Amino acid sequence: DFLFFWGAVFLITTTLVALLKKENKELTPTKEETKGITDTYRLLFSIIKMPAVLSFCLLILTAKVGFSAADAVTGLKLVEEGVPKEHLALLAVPMVPLQIILPLIISKYTAGPQPLNTFYKAMPFRLLFGLEFAFLVWWTPTVRHEGGFPVYYYIVVLLSYALHQITLYSMYVAIMAFNAKVSDPLIGGTYMTLLNTVSNLGGNWPSTVALWLVDPLTVKECAGAQDQTCATTAAAEV
């Protein structure tokens, strides 16, 4: 029902845009820098070879390593400790208005000449939330009872996620604003796509590595089975 509803909204809105939005034909089209796929990739290669762009790409590819475990593993560990998946999913609902409002508020601070200042200021707070999430996972088993989890536990989780979203969106909006600011207007689409792709990759590969390292770094004990290790999935099943 959810997918059907938003699919219908998508079709209606895009159709209305196609029917009602008129192109501005008075503007003279600027000369395109690229003519095909080969030219585009040559242009991308020439952009990424620039010292400033190369340095920026290396920085942004590694900047989110410190958040990877907190972002990728916290929810899974909470479920592992007994928090129902549907309850965690419901906690995402109040996050939606926050996710809509935050970019509007943050954009006021990233519209100036130095949008990355917001990125720098949010970084230590986001790192601290990694520690707070680790504490949350450690605290979860102690508050669990036969009926599930108390209301105050979900309030703490909701507040933690909400404050974490502020730091996350501060960094996200700041990096998008910076990418838009430094992109050459003549090849703006190509330039911005390259920087945004690198930025997205910088968030995805650390999360993948963090998920891959969860099992090797998790300490498990076998209750009631002497000389039996639980280091691997197969051993834990035995």
Contact 61/201 with Cβ under 8 angstroms?
yes
pLDDT in tens, 38-93: 877 888 888 888 899 899 999 999 999 999 999 999 999 999 888 999 988 888 88
- pLDDT of 30 > 60? The answer is no
- Quote helix, strand, coil % in the chain, to nearest 5: 75, 0, 25
Q: How does residue 35 score in pLDDT terms, banded at 50, 70 and 90?
A: low
pLDDT value at residue 181: 87
Q: Which residues touch 183 (CB under 8 Å, ≥6 apart)?
A: 191, 192, 195
Band (pLDDT 50/70/90 cuts) for residue 29 is low
Give the pLDDT confidence of 122-176 residue by residue, as tens digits.
Answer: 999 999 999 999 999 999 999 988 878 888 999 999 999 999 999 999 999 999 9
- Residues 188-220 pLDDT 10s: 678 888 889 999 999 999 999 999 998 888 877
CA distance 128 to 164: 10
Closest residue by Cα to residue 33 from 44, 24, 25: 44
- pLDDT bin (cut points 50, 70, 90) of residue 31 is low
Please enumerate, as own/partner, the contacts of 27-30 that have beta carbons within 8 Å and a separation of 24 or more: 30/186
Q: Exposed e or buried b for every residue in 171-197, given b needs 16+ CB within 10 A?
A: bbbbbbbbbeeebeeebeebbbebbee
Between CA 113 and CA 53 the distance in angstroms is 18
Q: Which candidate, 87, 74, 216, 89, places its Cα nearest to that of 138?
A: 74
Can you give the pTM of this predicted structure? 0.76
